[in-house]
């Protein structure tokens, strides 16, 4: 029923100005709407969007909260590192570990970083998920 529709991601933050600087300036997302003291709306590829909203509850759940389906992950990781983004290094066992921030599997490559509040964002390159 819902599988034919795009989905949007929502990321909680407690410091909206710091989040705005990170998502707009560091990640280079296109801010299309700012709701005073509450939310930032970013237009992303394929008609999708990301909402970064102010919360009084906890942030940084410790798992991937949003992910970008990308091409040329090595170029993107390198470019984001130049902007100060620190990529996570994981050892998932069974020979699956990141190298320079990128996990390479048989048909896909993945990388993760956190925003200033610890929210995990993923980059995924491989078979289309649509």
**b vs e for 5-43, b when ≥16 Cβ sit within 10 Å of the residue's Cβ?**
eeeebebbbeebeebbebbbeebebeeeeeeeeebbbbe
Residue 20 confidence (pLDDT) above 90? yes
Has residue 2 been placed in a domain? Answer: no
Q: Calculate what percentage of the chain has a pLDDT beyond 70.
A: 97
Position 110 in a domain: yes
Mean pLDDT of the chain: 90
Asked whether the predicted pLDDT for residue 22 surpasses 60, the reply is: yes
Q: How crowded is the C-beta side of 44, counted as CA atoms within 13 Å?
A: 21
Q: Is residue 3 domain-resident?
A: no
* pLDDT score of 59 more than 50: yes
Quick check: is 75 in a domain? yes
**What would the pLDDT profile of 68-119 be if each residue is shown by its tens digit?**
999 999 999 999 999 999 999 998 888 889 999 999 998 999 999 999 999 9
DSSP string covering 71-127, please?
S-HHHHHHHHHHTT--B---B-STT-B-BTTBEE-SS-EEEEEE-TT--EEEEEESS
Backbone angles phi, psi at 10, to 5 degrees: -130, 125
Question: Is residue 1 domain-resident?
Answer: no
Within-domain flag for 102: yes
Say if 130 falls within a structural domain.
Answer: no
Instruction: Please tell me the total count of domains within the chain.
Output: 1
Residue span of the structural domain in which 64 resides: 9-125
Instruction: Write the CATH number for 16.
Output: 3.10.180.10
- What distance in Å separates the CA atoms of residue 37 and residue 130, rounded to the nearest whole number? 34
Q: Could you tell me if residue 73 is inside a domain? A: yes
């Amino acid at each position: 029923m819902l599988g034919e529709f795009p989905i949007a991601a929502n990321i909680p933050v407690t410091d909206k100005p710091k989040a705005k600087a990170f998502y707009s300036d560091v990640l280079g997302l296109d801010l299309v709407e700012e709701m005073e003291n509450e939310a930032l709306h970013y237009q992303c590829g394929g008609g999708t969007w990301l909402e970064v909203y102010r919360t009084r509850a906890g942030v940084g759940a410790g798992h991937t909260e949003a992910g970008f389906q990308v091409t040329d992950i090595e170029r993107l990781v390198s470019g984001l590192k130049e902007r100060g983004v620190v990529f996570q290094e994981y050892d998932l066992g069974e020979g699956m570990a990141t190298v320079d921030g990128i996990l390479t599997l048989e048909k896909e490559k993945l990388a993760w970083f956190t925003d200033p509040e610890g929210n995990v964002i993923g980059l995924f390159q491989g078979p289309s998920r649509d």
